[in-house]
Amino acid sequence: MDEITAIILYTVMAGACIPLGGLIALRQKIRPSWLENELRHSIIAFGGGILLAAVSLVLVPEGVAYLEDSLVSAMAFTAGGLCFFFLERMLGARRREKPQFMAMLLDFVPESIALGGIFALGSPLAPMLALFIGLQNLPEGFNAFRELKSGTDSGRGKILLVMVAMVPLGPLMGILGYTYFSRDTALLGGIMLFAAGGILYLIFQDIAPQSRMKRHWAPPLGAVLGFSLGMISNTLVTGH
C-alpha cells in the first residue's frame, strides 16, 4: 500500500468514528436514569483521557523533536492554547459554544495534517496517531451528538449528516500535510504543538469539568482508562 492510499484509509477510518459515535448516541434513553448520566460522564472522561494520551505521547514529543528548539516549542504550544481560548470566547459571546463539538472539530483537523506529515517523514508513530484520532473521535462523536441534540432544534438525521460531512476533512488535511507540511519539519512540529496546546486547553476548560460528578467514581476512572489505552498503544507501536 502506497503512503497516499494509507493516509486516505487511516483518516477515513478515524473520521468515520465521528458519525459512528453519533449513531451509538441515537439510543436516547438508558434506564435507570442514573446509569445514563453515569455513562455519559464516563464517555466524556474517556475521550479526555485519549486526548491527553495523544498530547503527551505523540503530539508533544514529536513536535518538540521536529522543532529542535525548546523556547519555540513552548511558544507554539502556548499559542495553540491561547488561540483555542479566544475562539471559544468568541463563540461564547455569540452564544454558540458547543465544547464537545468544537473539541472534535478543532483537534481532528490539525491532527489529520500532522498524520499526513509524519507519514511522509516515515515516523513509526503514524499508525498510533491514527489510532488515537479514531479512539477519541468515537466518544467525541457520541457526546457531540447529545450536545447538539439537546442544544438545538435540529433533527437527528441533520446532526448525523453534519457529522458525516466532517469525515472527508480527514483525507483532505492528511494529504495536505503529506504534500506540503512535510517539506518543512519545523512547521509540522509547530502545527503538532499548536494542536496539543489547544487540545490541552479544551480538556481542562470544557471536557474535564463536564466529566465530574459528585460522589461518582466512574468518570475519573474513564479518564484513567482512556490514557492507559493510549499508553498500551504507544508500547505496542514503539516497543518501549
* Most confident among 102-106, 125-129, 190-194, 214-218 (mean pLDDT): 190-194
Distance CA 148, CA 174 (A): 27
Q: What is the pLDDT of residues 34-82, one digit of tens each?
A: 456 666 667 777 777 777 888 888 888 888 888 877 788 888 888 888 8
State yes or no: pLDDT of 31 exceeds 60.
Answer: no
Distance CA 140, CA 202 (A): 12
Distance CA 240, CA 16 (A): 30
Nearest C-alpha neighbor of 206 from the set 110, 87, 58 = 87
Greater confidence, 206 or 12? 12
Q: In Å, how far from its chain's centre is CA 193?
A: 14
What's at 4, amino acid-wise? I
Mean pLDDT (the chain) is 76
Greater confidence, 204 or 239? 204
The pTM of this model reads: 0.73
State the burial class of residue 155 (Cβ atoms within 10 Å of its Cβ: 0-12, 13-18, 19+).
exposed
Helices first, then strands: H and E counts in the chain: 11, 0
Distance CA 163, CA 144 (A): 9
Q: Give the H or E element holding residue 150.
A: helix 126-151
